[in-house]
Structure 1
């Protein structure tokens, strides 16, 4: 099966590794995987690639993201309407909409995406 760079089929993972943990280590792995909303295997794979997953943000984050998304959509709608009617500075409005969408992507990057680890042994 061919895989596209960056995306691999689950079937590409055909090597099984068995590790032994004590009860405390097993509970710690389970707790950390749950906090990051990934499987235990997924957590280990992220760590092996040098990424430290982030904990899932609380509901306030998602409320803010929904609000931000609504604002961005409204600005885009205003931009389309202003461009059609020709009485608002459409380029300025469009730049503002792009700014909001960039902000939304930055928030997702900061709060959700794993970041590269600074661990020296990698």
Structure 2
């Protein structure tokens, strides 16, 4: 039998406006109300769910990265590529993917 990680129950009373705001925030973020509140308590504001095309964009960026890897493999075999330029571009792509992911899905710190 496993023990629950969270074994302290907290009951909170809200007025109708507070409940509406909690439900709206949780729904926008795609989180349960409980998870939404735990993130807020940790000092962060959950971001809204990413736009529908986010996953399409990420898939496209990953495809570009795979293509760059294939180009690199072929270029290494033939010796016809500037490795520094290719590496710079590959690093740029990797950073773009991280930046997009962070901008769209990471919680923001409370100010």
Aligned with residue 14 of structure 2, among 14, 21, 24: 21
Find the counterpart in structure 2 of residue 7 from structure 1. none
Deviation (angstroms), 1:89: 1.5
Find the counterpart in structure 2 of residue 93 from structure 1. 86
Find the counterpart in structure 2 of residue 50 from structure 1. 43
- Larger RCO: 1 or 2 (CA < 8 Å, sep 6+): 2
Residue 103, structure 1, aligned to residue 96, structure 2: yes
- Mapped to 1, the partners of 2:21 and 2:108 lie a distance apart of 20
TM-score, reference length from structure 2: 0.86
Instruction: Specify every segment of 5 or more residues in structure 1 that has no aligned partner in the other structure, as ranges.
Output: 1-9
Q: For 1:10-59, what per-residue CA distance to the aligned partner results, in whole angstroms no more than 9, with x for missing partners?
A: 82211110111233322321221111111111111111111011111221
Contact 1:57 1:112 in 2 (8 A): yes
- CA RMSD, aligned part only? 1.7
Find the counterpart in structure 2 of residue 34 from structure 1. 27
Aligned with residue 67 of structure 1, among 47, 50, 60: 60
TM-score, reference length from structure 1: 0.79
Count matched residues.
Answer: 109
Instruction: Specify every segment of 5 or more residues in structure 2 that has no aligned partner in the other structure, as ranges.
Output: none
Q: Which moved more, 1:98-107 or 1:64-73?
A: 64-73
